[in-house]
Structures are given as C-alpha cells and as structure tokens.
Amino acid sequence: MRIIVFSILTSCCLLACNPITERLAGYEVHGVDVSHYQMQVDWDTLLTQNIDFVFIKATEGESLQDSLFIKNWEALGRRDVIRGAYHFFHPSVSIEGQFQNFTKRVKLESLDLPPVVDIEVTNGESATNIRDALKQILLKLEAHYKIKPIIYTNQKLYNEYLQNAFSEYPLWIARYNTIEPELIDGHHWTFWQYGNRGQLRGVVGDIDFNVFNGSLDSLKHLTIPALDDSISITSTERE
C-alpha cells in the first residue's frame, strides 16, 4: 500500500511540475517547432490555430536526417505559413560534415526563415571550443545561403558559453517560463520557445510553443529574399 501511495504522489508531483503549456497572450506572432517526435501532423487543422511560423528539424550531426523533414517541409511549402529548418549541432563533430549534411537536404526559398543552428549540447567541449565550432558553421551557412543564420539555444547555455560572442546573429532562446529570456550580455531574443507541452488540434501529444519578438511584417523582413537556385541542393535529394 505504501508503494502504491508513493507512486501516486510521485506521478502527481511530476504532473504538477510539468504542466500543460498555455498560449501566451500579449504577442502578435506565434509559432511551433516539430520533428519526427510529433509523428504525422495534420497541417490543415493545426494552422487554423493562430500559427504564423513553423521550424522543422532537418538534420543532426554528420549523418542523421529527420525522417519526416521532407514530408513536413514540402507540406508547409504549399500552405500560407512561414517555415524554417534547423540543424541539431554537435560542437565536437566535423564542421564540414555537419554543413554538408544540412545543405544537401535543405533548399531555402524566398520567404523561408534563415537556417537555424540548434546548440543545446556541449559534448564536453570548453567554452572556447564551442564558440569556435559554432562560428565556423555559422559562417559556412551564411556564405551558402547568403543570409545570417539563427542560433537556437537555451538561456542557461547561452549565458554560460555564448555570451558576448554572437551579437550579430538572431537568437531563438528556450526558456520554459512565462518570464521572457534574460541574457546577461544584454542581447535581445528574436524567438522565444516558452514551453514544450503545448496542445493543438492536428498533432498527437505535445508540441513546442514559440513567439516572435515583433510584428508579422517584421518576421517577413527576416526571411530569405529570392535566391539563385544554384547555391543549394533540393531538399528532396537523399543519399
């Protein structure tokens, strides 16, 4: 009996500590991000719920490709929503290999968001090595897509490893709270991922909720202008 009671109390505590994410009021532009973890998304239903932008996981490391990236990317290309693609970055892994993994699969078009480098693991590297590796891939992506990439990270990692080193890049900061991100170098966030237990019709299970720090017109100005098709490889190409 004691074991059963303890199990129930533990479950209740976990639920209380990790509540459903409620949509934040006071922000004009809302978005979500997805990967294969969301499985099959009914985009026609999901996009009726005040969603202005969607980030999609494309790749990770040197060789991993998200199994649903192409399907989601192409589906959003046929709908009236701003889309973006992100790469889950490993600072200890070959920069060239990660660059090739992403660019071989992601073709960015007019009105797409800049490429995103998602850095949320350190791989045991020092702050200096992490910053150097991140700068290398950011520069390579900027040269390829002709636009400054976005950096995604959480508030703690940014303040500990990245502060004062990337002031020229738009930031997408994860802070699961109703209080906006606080970056100790004074850099302002562009996107804020404020929760990972959002609930929307059209997707089974949880989904990340985000807001943009500005108007919809400002978000559109952040997107990619017309590109020369020769600079990137179609996202439908597979190895």
pLDDT digits (tens, 9 = 90+) for 34-58: 999 999 999 999 999 999 999 999 9
pLDDT of residue 110: 96
pLDDT of residue 205: 93
The answer to whether residue 33 is catalytic is: yes
Both tokens of residue 190? 């562009």
Is the pLDDT reported for residue 204 higher than 50? yes
Tens-digit pLDDT profile for residues 123-167: 999 999 999 999 999 999 999 999 999 999 999 999 999 999 999
| Nearest residue to 149 (alpha-carbon basis) of 170, 173, 124 | 170
Listed in order, strand segments (DSSP E) in 61-115 are: 64-65, 82-88
pLDDT of residue 45: 98
Q: What whole-number distance in Å separates Cα of residue 192 and Cα of residue 149?
A: 16
pLDDT of residue 5: 41
Tens-digit pLDDT profile for residues 155-178: 999 999 999 999 999 999 999 999
Match 């979500």 to its residue by tokens: 32
| Nearest residue to 145 (alpha-carbon basis) of 224, 52, 221, 37 | 224
User: Could you give phi then psi for residue 82, rounded to 5 degrees?
Assistant: -85, 130
Whole-structure pTM value = 0.88
**Catalytic residue, candidates 33, 66, 112, 208:** 33
User: Which residues does 17 contact at the CB level (< 8 Å), separation at least 6?
Assistant: none
Ordered structural domains, the chain, with CATH:
24-231 (3.20.20.80)
**Catalytic residue, candidates 44, 96, 120, 229:** 120
* Residue 212 three-state SS: strand
pLDDT of residue 222: 97
Q: What whole-number distance in Å separates Cα of residue 9 and Cα of residue 7?
A: 5
| Nearest residue to 145 (alpha-carbon basis) of 41, 20, 231 | 231
Instruction: Kindly state the average pLDDT of the residues 22-31.
Output: 97
User: Could you give phi then psi for residue 194, rounded to 5 degrees?
Assistant: -100, -5
pLDDT of residue 225: 85
Instruction: Kindly state the average pLDDT of the residues 88-110.
Output: 98
Q: What whole-number distance in Å separates Cα of residue 221 and Cα of residue 215?
A: 10
Q: Are 81 and 54 in contact (CB under 8 A)?
A: yes
The answer to whether residue 142 is catalytic is: no
CB atoms within 10 A of CB 154: 16
Q: What is the percent of the chain with per-residue pLDDT over 90, rounded to a whole number?
A: 86
Q: Please report the sign of the dihedral spanned by the C-alpha atoms of residue 239, residue 153, residue 68, residue 75.
A: negative
pLDDT of residue 91: 98
